[in-house]
């Protein structure tokens, strides 16, 4: 507990100091000197009477300004020696790291202004508490960290960089920011040949002030070391929020012309709420068109869902909006896209296989793939070589034949192996029996092989990283392996076989089973990338990369962000394009070559219950420790004697001026 006064002097020093005021007053009495004077008239009698009063104490003091000022100076000196103070706060240490959360939840307005503005205000106050010679750095973080200002003693520069910090719509992850700070305070160690452990840099302890609402996951494998953490929570426990946590679309399997939109709403408040929801057709260049509206009753701290049915809707962009007033507007809006079907470009090379050609020619296959069939002679044509090297195909199926080199496409080999020595097979074995399937893999979705028989086949071994999808009593007979961004699948049992006379025969009864057309569709969807409806096939969260596919083998794509900014991205492995600038929610448009109209669209939404759950968390937790929320800085004594002494000097200067100028009241 702090005392108001804390004396600087001992008792005998106080005795000397307190004796000074009587001495000054006594000197003023002794200063008065009279000389006898004869007055010939009674005209000045009243002046004589007045002079008699000068001998009284108060009359002598009444009009003496210099004495008054001297007593004030003395009183101020006595007060300064009492050392008056008040309880304040102050930073401890001399090196500080200020970490400011800029994630989506920091845009909440439950503290009057945004949480980010409040955090910046607190950091500004901390900077004001820095002493001369103290150094600080500023780090902002969401799901990645940025060093806004390296260590400096320039508080003006710190404030300038602090005010430049902008909010983001990303999720929150402090791990990267803490590792950057730890690298400064906890330098690594290095071992020499003789086994001595050597410090590679000088340790620089620092106080880390973390300003966040605490929406953080447990920080794995992190030790604070020389970092002294101070967690300053930002936000109110009474924050209220309603959030869209799910929004996707799909075709009604019973009515293919009808689009269904599925919605999930979460109530992050302590009261049950009825939430108005509107489904809009998002016209980026004009006013949104209302398609449907409803109300959803959501219990406190729970979620509820609903669905919308939209007829005659083939493509476009949808916007879902909550008509509510809460503390975070970002998750009150969500977007979804419905793109036209994107067909896989498939080449089938076969000497003749009616079963395979038939299953690839059915309506369900043609909806998701453009398929061309050629004989093995096509492998030697310049056109094939050019197209296979330029990623013109998404998938090439080689039935009982193989190319001289692997194409720039995913492949399926039936009854044969890819070129090279990475793939091997056993001798031909009679009547292999399927004993196991990897039913969790997309290629094996809905597949059953219990009633399928093969006349002959051989086991297959692929390169490193292979996945056995179908195992038999003779070993793996269907194997998948990666190849530089592409996927190669090899089926060790052919559909048609060749006897000793070169005649074809049916090697399996699989084409008669329902699983065979399902297998063909899985091949077209997984290896070819075909889809009957591209609604929501591409969607993501702010900051997360999105993998795009082009309708034609163009070298690059252009992506237009919701704010109008355009970025060009090059083609990567497997004829895909990786887009990483998903910084904001909304609809992104994809353009191929010089096309004026977008060829596809994708949506980015927050959809994060941690960010939408606004009440600040009480702790920041690592694998081994917990850091509880606490006050911003340590309580300390604030002395005022320096200011009192300065006031005494000012009064003393005034007394000196009056004395020299002969100023009187």
pLDDT tens readout for residues 20-39: 777 666 666 556 555 665 65
Contact 581, 563 (CB under 8 A): no
* CATH number for the segment(s) 344-526: 3.40.50.880
Listed in sequence order, the DSSP H helices in 135-282 are 155-163, 175-185
CB atoms within 10 A of CB 430: 9
Which of 298, 375, 362, 626 lies closest to 520 in space, CA to CA? Answer: 362
Q: Is the pLDDT of residue 90 over 90?
A: no
Residue in the structure block whose two tokens are 């606004």: 614
Per-residue tokens: 512: 């008669």
Listed in sequence order, the DSSP H helices in 82-133 are 115-128
CATH class of 242-339+607-612: mainly beta
pLDDT at 31: 60
Calpha distance 265→324 (Å, rounded):
12
Task: Give Cα separations from 112 to 109, 119, 267 (angstroms).
Answer: 6, 12, 21
Inter-axis angle of helices 65-81 and 20-31, nearest 10: 170
More confident residue, 195 or 177: 177
Mean pLDDT of 127-132: 88
Per-residue tokens: 13: 């020093």
Calpha distance 321→310 (Å, rounded):
16
Calpha distance 549→561 (Å, rounded):
17
pLDDT at 476: 95
CA 64, 65, 66, 68 torsion-angle sign:
positive
Residue spans of beta strands (DSSP E) within 539-656: 539-540, 546-549, 556-560, 566-570, 576-579, 586-592, 600-604, 619-621, 626-628, 634-639
pLDDT at 39: 59
pLDDT at 199: 44
156, 161, 162, 165: CA torsion to nearest 10: 160
Q: Do domains 242-339+607-612 and 344-526 have the same CATH topology?
A: no
507, 511, 514, 516: CA torsion to nearest 10: 90
Calpha distance 274→296 (Å, rounded):
6
Contacts of 56 (CB under 8 A, 6+ apart): none
pLDDT at 2: 46
Calpha distance 580→585 (Å, rounded):
13
Q: What is the pTM of this model?
A: 0.68
Mean pLDDT of 354-360: 92
Calpha distance 565→581 (Å, rounded):
10
Calpha distance 77→649 (Å, rounded):
9
pLDDT at 351: 92
Q: Is the pLDDT of residue 89 over 60?
A: no
CB atoms within 10 A of CB 604: 25
Mean pLDDT of 570-586: 84
Contact 325, 273 (CB under 8 A): no
Contact 555, 352 (CB under 8 A): no
Task: Give Cα separations from 103 to 95, 113, 209, 211, 269 (angstroms).
Answer: 25, 16, 17, 11, 21
Q: What are the boundaries of each domain within the chain? A: 11-84+643-661, 90-238+616-638, 242-339+607-612, 344-526, 539-596
Contact 456, 507 (CB under 8 A): yes
Q: For the chain, what is the largest distance between any 2 Cα atoms, rounded to a whole number of angstroms?
A: 169
Percent of the chain at pLDDT exceeding 70: 79
- Give me the sheet containing 395-399, strands edge to edge: 369-374, 344-349, 395-399, 410-414, 486-491, 475-483, 467-472, 434-437
Mean pLDDT of 587-598: 86
CB atoms within 10 A of CB 646: 11
Least confident of 10-14, 149-153, 257-261, 574-578: 10-14
pLDDT at 188: 56
Calpha distance 617→605 (Å, rounded):
24
Which of 644, 649, 616 lies closest to 241 in space, CA to CA? Answer: 616
Mean pLDDT of 34-53: 56
Which of 464, 403, 471, 405 lies closest to 437 in space, CA to CA? Answer: 471
Calpha distance 311→261 (Å, rounded):
11
Least confident of 72-76, 208-212, 427-431: 72-76
CATH class of 90-238+616-638: alpha beta
pLDDT at 565: 92
Mean pLDDT of 490-516: 87
Report which listed range, 92-101, 307-316, 650-659, is most confident.
Answer: 92-101
């Amino acid at each position: 507990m702090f005392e108001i006064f804390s004396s600087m002097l001992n008792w005998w020093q106080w005795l000397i100091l307190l004796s000074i005021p009587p001495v000054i007053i006594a000197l003023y009495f002794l200063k008065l000197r009279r000389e006898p004077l004869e007055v010939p008239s009674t005209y000045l009698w009243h002046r004589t009477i007045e002079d008699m009063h000068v001998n009284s104490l108060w009359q002598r003091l009444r009009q003496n300004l210099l004495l008054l000022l001297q007593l004030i100076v003395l009183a101020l000196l006595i007060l300064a020696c009492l050392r008056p103070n008040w309880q304040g706060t102050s930073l401890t240490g001399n090196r500080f790291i200020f970490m400011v959360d800029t994630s989506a939840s920091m845009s909440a307005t439950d503290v009057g202004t945004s949480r980010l503005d409040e955090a910046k205000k607190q950091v500004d106050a901390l900077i004001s508490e820095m002493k001369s010679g103290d150094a600080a750095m500023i780090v902002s973080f969401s799901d990645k960290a940025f060093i806004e200002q390296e260590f400096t003693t320039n508080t003006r520069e710190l404030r300038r960089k602090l005010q430049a910090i902008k909010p983001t719509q990303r999720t929150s992850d402090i791990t990267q920011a803490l590792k950057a700070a730890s690298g400064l305070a906890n330098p690594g160690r290095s071992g020499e040949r003789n086994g001595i452990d050597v410090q590679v840099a000088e340790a620089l302890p620092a106080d880390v002030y973390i300003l966040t609402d605490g929406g953080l996951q447990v920080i794995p494998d992190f030790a604070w070391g020389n970092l002294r953490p101070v967690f300053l929570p930002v936000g109110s426990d009474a924050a209220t929020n309603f959030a869209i946590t799910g929004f996707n679309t799909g075709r009604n399997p019973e009515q293919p012309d009808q689009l269904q939109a599925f919605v999930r709403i979460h109530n992050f408040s302590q009261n049950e709420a009825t939430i108005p929801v509107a489904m809009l057709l998002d016209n980026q260049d004009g006013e949104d068109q209302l398609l449907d509206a409803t109300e959803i009753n959501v219990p406190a701290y729970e979620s509820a869902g609903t669905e919308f049915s939209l007829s005659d809707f083939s493509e476009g962009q949808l916007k879902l909006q909550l008509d509510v007033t809460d503390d975070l507007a970002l998750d009150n809006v969500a977007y979804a896209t419905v793109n036209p079907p994107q067909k896989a470009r498939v080449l089938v090379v076969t000497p003749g296989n009616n079963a395979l050609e038939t299953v690839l020619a059915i309506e369900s296959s043609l909806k998701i793939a453009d398929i061309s069939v050629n004989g093995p002679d096509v492998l030697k044509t310049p056109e094939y070589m050019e197209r296979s090297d330029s990623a013109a195909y998404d998938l090439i199926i080689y039935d009982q034949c193989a190319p001289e080199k692997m194409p720039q496409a995913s492949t399926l080999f039936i009854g044969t192996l890819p070129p090279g020595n990475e793939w091997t097979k056993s001798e031909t074995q009679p009547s292999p029996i399927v004993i196991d399937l990897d039913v969790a893999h997309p290629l094996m979705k809905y597949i059953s092989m219990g009633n399928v028989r093969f006349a002959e086949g051989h086991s297959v071994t692929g390169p490193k990283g292979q996945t056995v999808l179908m195992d038999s009593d003779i070993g793996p007979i269907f194997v998948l392996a990666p190849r530089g961004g592409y996927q190669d699948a090899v089926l060790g049992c052919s559909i048609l076989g060749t006897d000793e006379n070169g005649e074809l025969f049916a090697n399996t009864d699989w084409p008669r089973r329902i699983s065979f057309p399902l297998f063909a569709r899985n091949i077209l969807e997984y290896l070819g990338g075909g889809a009957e409806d591209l609604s929501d096939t591409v969607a993501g969260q702010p900051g997360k990369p999105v993998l795009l596919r082009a309708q034609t083998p163009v070298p690059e794509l252009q992506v237009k962000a919701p704010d109008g900014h355009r970025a060009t991205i090059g083609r990567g492995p497997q004829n895909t394009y990786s887009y990483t600038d998903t910084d904001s929610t909304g609809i992104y448009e994809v353009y191929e070559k010089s096309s004026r109209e977008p060829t596809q669209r994708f949506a980015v939404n927050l959809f994060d219950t941690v960010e939408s759950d606004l009440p600040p968390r009480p702790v920041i937790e690592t694998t081994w420790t917990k850091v509880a929320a606490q006050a911003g800085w340590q309580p300390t004594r604030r002395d005022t004697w320096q200011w009192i002494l300065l006031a005494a000097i000012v009064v003393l200067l005034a007394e000196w001026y009056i004395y020299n100028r002969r100023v009187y009241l």
